[in-house]
Chain A
Amino acid sequence: MFGETFIRIGWINRPRGKLHLNTKYIIATIIIIVLIASAAFVYTYYQGQIPDEGIQALQTLVDDHDYSTSLTAYPERIVSLAPSATEILYAVGAGDKVVGVTDYCDYPYNFTAWIEADNMTSVGGFKDTNVEVIASLNPDLILATGGVQQETVASLRDLGYKVLVLDPANIDGVLRDIELVGNATGKRAQATAVVNDITSRIDAVVNKVAGVASKPKVYYEVWFSTQSIWSVGAEGFETELIAKAGGVNIFENDSLEHFQTDSEVIISKNPDIILLPVGMETVGSELPFWESFDAVKARPAWDSISAVQNDKLYQIDGNVIERAGPRIADMIETLAEIFHPELF
């Protein structure tokens, strides 16, 4: 019966009594179905994007990726997908609302111990955050960061979760993020206090080092392995912190963030100070990737670098200098004391 209908509308030809599908018609039909389906999908998708007029939004927040999120109430269950976000949450006084953190979150509390004691839930690592675990926590606000987390952020938003992306490019961006988190959690006064404290401390350092005769050339080592040596350029956060503290990153003219360079380049740039991060290893060895000051000094031909000759190698907390959180003022003070000990 259906066969007859198909023959009549031209889907099936029956020349010389043989069943024969008319490819042209079938392809045309498939294309039309696909077009209708995708139009319907796009329509429903955008319907979902339009804020529901029925519920009065408490506030609308615009995050670092210019995505608007409307909150109908202050969040009670917050999940943080980045160590910097966790630090900001606790700094503005919204720490008691945090229900989930990553395995990398280590400040202001020892979250690993909390997780082991079942007082906190781990949502995974940094690249491998687990959406199902996040969903099981039923959060009403999620703080994420840029880069590798974009896919996770997109899928969380598709599931209907409110996600704010904190992805600051510089110190001003961090201060804006602290205000943003303060607004989101209803802790505006405390956020403003934190921002004012950071700003005044940074200004104090900047004023102190403003009159120095010379600024030291600084090399910050991001990573070192047998195949590669990585540092930070103008786009990196570390460069701005070094500049505020009265130093000059030797790579400040390279518009890059973290990048692979060459031993010869560092020897040529002849830094006065070498900064080596600690606490960057996730697993395994007790030693930092640069092993020891002696190992750094013993690198081939590094004995001609001014910093090595004058023994100006310093270890700093890598998790503070590379983290866009509220401890940037601490780091700038530490760096300024290293660069200009005579002023402190």
Chain B
Amino acid sequence: MSKNEVESTYSKRASRWKLIIFLLIIALIITVIVSLNVGYYGISFEDILKILGKQIPFLNSFVDYTPKLPGDPNVLLLVRLPRIIAGVLVGAALAASGVLFQGIFRNPMADPFVIGVSSGASVGAALATLFAAGFVFFGIGAVQIAAFVSALITIFFVYNISRVGSRVPVMTLLLSGLAVTFFSSAIVTLLQFISGKELFSIVAWLAGGFSNITWLAIWAITPFILIGIIAAYFYARDLNLLALGEDTAQNLGVDIERVKKILLFLGSMVTAAAVSVSGLIGFVGLIIPHMTRLVIGPDHRILLPTSTIIGAIFLVVCDDVARLMTGSIMGALQLPVGVITAISGAPFFVYLLRRKKTSYAL
């Protein structure tokens, strides 16, 4: 291949990638707007658009809107919209850190929870539920803060347990993550056992969901998630080289120990922030990266941004299903979104896996 050919292939691919990301962002925006229409409380789609229009500066003077019921704008803007935005952020965070963890561990079973972020967060959340419920710091509940902090402490422990001199072998990391996960799960089980009605909180936390999310909680996690994902994107090339094996990557000039340390931290931070508001929503971080890899390919430079957006879309749609079922087939009952992610995601993933026919590798 001549230099020109290489350059043209490269620019073709770059423009194709840009197109994919552009289309996915459009899809995400459409999903969010359609999702605004889904919920038990009845607001017409026209009113929804008008309420949104009222919020846009300069444009709002052109919108002629009087609420049919005085509560309409608040239900849309303070109950439904934050829930959808939380779905976007949490879905994006889990899918992105899923890509990072699968890349670091070069293991298809890896997910954001593999080294104990989730179980660490659960211990914090359960302890706060039992012993510090009602404490609020700057408007943020004790449960959210305790979950975030204890997730990061857990990761710090796992990392240091696994360290051999200046190196952190991934196998040791996986195994110590497993050990810490078992240990923390046991503590959560113990806390469930001694709890009375607080069991409701713990069960809801373990099933995942963002029923009672507030804007304040969303503002609190947004910087962690955005900065984490954007920072991780700059290591996409290193993840590509890491896929060739650690020794090869080292020889090709990647400072693998440093990259691993940074990516583990970023992935854990992003996951901890997401989990602190949503509880444990399983499956998104495991299957969205796989699904995307089956369709888009294994190059982390495109895999990371596309997985992030698809994860966001997927979780918003799953939460829509939860809200759609409430009021139709479920009456007033609402299923936790974590149940819906797993029930809907697993069969679709099997379908993709079978359709691909050829064997599948990371």
List residues of chain A with CB under 8 Å of any chain B CB: 104, 125-128, 222-231, 233, 251, 253-256, 258-265, 267-269, 280-289, 291, 299-301, 303-305
A226 contacts B143, CB within 8 Å? yes
Q: A277 — nearest CB in chain B belongs to which residue? A: B197
Residues in chain B within 8 A of chain A (CB atoms): 39-42, 69-71, 74-75, 78-80, 82, 129-135, 141, 143-144, 193-198, 200-201, 203-205, 207-214, 217, 277-279, 323, 326-327, 331-336
- Residues of A within 8 Å of B212, CB to CB, are 224-229, 263, 299
Given known pairs A267-B71, A268-B42, A300-B79, the reply for A261 and B193 (CB within 8 Å) is: no
Report yes or no: A264 in contact with B80, Cβ–Cβ below 8 A.
yes
| Chain B residue contacts of A282, Cβ below 8 A | 130, 194-198
Most chain B CB neighbours (cut-off 10 Å) among A233, A261, A287, A301 = A301
Residues of A within 8 Å of B80, CB to CB, are 264
**Contact at A304–B71, with CB atoms within 8 Å?**
yes
A300 and B82 contacting across the interface, CB-CB below 8 Å:
yes
A261 touches B79 (CB 8 A): no
Interface contact A104-B79, CB-CB below 8 Å: no
B210 contacts across to A, CB distance below 8 A: 227
Give the chain A neighbours of B70 by CB distance below 8 A. 304
Contacts of B327 in A (CB 8 A): 265
20 A-B pairs (CB sep. < 8 Å)? A127-B193, A128-B193, A128-B194, A225-B204, A226-B144, A227-B209, A228-B211, A253-B331, A256-B332, A260-B336, A261-B333, A262-B326, A263-B211, A264-B75, A281-B197, A284-B131, A285-B133, A286-B134, A289-B197, A300-B78
Number of A-B pairs whose CB atoms are under 8 Å?
162
Cα–Cα distance between A301 and B71 once the two chains are bound (Å): 7
Give Cα A299–Cα B216 distance, bound, in whole angstroms: 12
Cross-interface CB contact of B39 among A230, A251, A264, cutoff 8 Å: A264
Please determine whether A254 and B332 come into contact, CB atoms closer than 8 angstroms: yes
Partner of A304, one of B69, B323, B333: B69
Contact call B193/A260, Cβ cutoff below 8 A: no
Q: Is the CB of A264 within 8 A of B79?
A: yes
Check B205–A265 contact: CB distance below 8 A: no
The answer for the CA separation of A222 and B198 in the assembled complex, in Å, is: 11
Q: List A contacts of B211 (CB < 8 A).
A: 227-229, 260, 262-263
Give the 8 A-B CB pairs with smallest separation, nearest first: A304-B71, A228-B204, A282-B196, A300-B78, A287-B134, A225-B201, A301-B74, A284-B131
A264: chain B residues at CB < 8 Å are 39-41, 75, 79-80, 323
Report the separation of the CA atoms of residues A224 and B200 in the bound assembly, to the nearest whole angstrom: 8
Pair B193/A283 contact, Cβ less than 8 Å = no
Complexed CA–CA distance, A299 and B212 (Å): 8
CB of B73 to closest CB in A, whole Å: 9
* Cβ-defined contact, B74 with A283, below 8 A: no
Asked if B332 and A259 sit within 8 Å, CB to CB, the answer is yes
Give min CB distance, B86 to chain A, whole Å: 11
Q: In angstroms, how far is the closest chain A Cβ from the Cβ of B346?
A: 22
Give chain A residues whose Cβ lies under 8 Å from the Cβ of B217: 226
Q: Which residues of B contact A258 (CB under 8 A)?
A: 200
14 other A-B residue contacts (CB within 8 Å) besides A223-B197, A281-B197, A285-B131: A223-B200, A223-B201, A225-B204, A226-B144, A227-B210, A227-B212, A253-B331, A258-B200, A261-B334, A268-B41, A268-B42, A282-B130, A303-B74, A305-B71
Check if A304 sits within 8 Å of B133, measured CB to CB: no
Contact of A285 among B132, B197, B204, B208 (CB under 8 A): B132
B residues within 8 A CB of A227? 201, 204-205, 207-212, 278-279, 336
- Complex Cα distance, B82 from A304, in Å, reads 18
Bound CA span A80–B42, Å: 49
Kindly list chain A residues whose C-beta atoms are within 8 Å of the C-beta of B200. 222-223, 225, 228, 230, 258
Report the bound CA distance from A82 to B75 in whole Å. 41
Q: Is the CB of B204 within 8 A of A260?
A: yes
The answer to whether B332 touches A251, judged by C-beta atoms less than 8 angstroms apart, is yes
Q: What are the residues of chain B within 8 A of A280 when measuring CB–CB?
A: 196-197
Collect the chain A residues with CB atoms within 8 Å of residue B74's CB.
300-301, 303-304
**Given that A284-B132, A300-B74 are contacting pairs, would A265 and B332 also be in contact in the complex, using a CB cutoff of 8 Å?**
yes
Residues of A within 8 A of B69 (CB): 304
* Minimum Cβ distance to chain B for residue A127 (Å): 6
Is A262's CB under 8 angstroms from B323's CB?
Answer: yes
**Out of A225, A231, A254, A262, which one reaches B129, CB within 8 Å?**
A225
With contact pairs A262-B40, A262-B334, A303-B71 given, residues A126 and B196 touching in the complex (Cβ less than 8 Å): yes
A53 to chain B, nearest CB (A): 43
A226 and B131 contact, CB distance less than 8 A: no
A12 smallest CB distance to B (angstroms) = 45
Residues of B within 8 A of A267 (CB): 41, 71, 75, 79
Q: From residue A337, how far is it (CB to closest CB) to chain B in Å?
A: 25
Give the distance to chain A from B325, nearest Cβ to Cβ, in Å: 11
Name the distance in Å between A264's Cβ and chain B's nearest Cβ: 4
A284 touches B334 (CB 8 A): no
**In the complex the two chains form, what is the Cα distance from A301 to B81 in whole Å?**
12
A residues within 8 A CB of B208?
A: 227
Instruction: Report the Cα distance A224→B214, complex, angstroms.
Output: 14
Assembly CA distance A231 to B195 (angstroms): 19
Is A300 in contact with B214, judged by CB distance below 8 angstroms?
A: yes
Chain B residues in 8 Å Cβ range of A228 = 200-201, 203-204, 209, 211-212, 336
Residue of B nearest to A253 (CB): B331
Residues of B within 8 Å of A251, CB to CB, are 332
Within 8 Å CB of A281, what residues of B? 133, 196-198
Which residues on the A side are within 8 Å of B334 (C-beta)?
A: 260-262, 265
Q: Tell me if A256 and B71 are in contact (CB < 8 A).
A: no
User: Which of chain B's residues have a CB closer than 8 A to the CB of A255?
Assistant: 331
Report whether B134 and A291 are in contact in the complex, using a CB–CB cutoff of 8 Å.
yes
Contacts of A225 in B (CB 8 A): 129, 143, 200-201, 204-205, 212
Max chain B C-beta neighbours (<10 A), residue from A127, A226, A301, A305: A226
Question: Are B133's CB and A287's CB within 8 A?
Answer: yes
Cβ-defined contact, A254 with B331, below 8 A: yes
CB-defined contacts of B205 to chain A, threshold 8 Å: 225-227
Chain A residue at minimum C-beta to C-beta distance from B129: A225
Q: Which of A222, A261, A288, A300 contacts B332 (CB 8 A)?
A: A261
Per the bound structure, the CA–CA distance linking A36 and B43 in Å amounts to: 68
**A301→B193 CA distance, assembly (Å):** 35
A233 to B333, CA, bound (A): 9
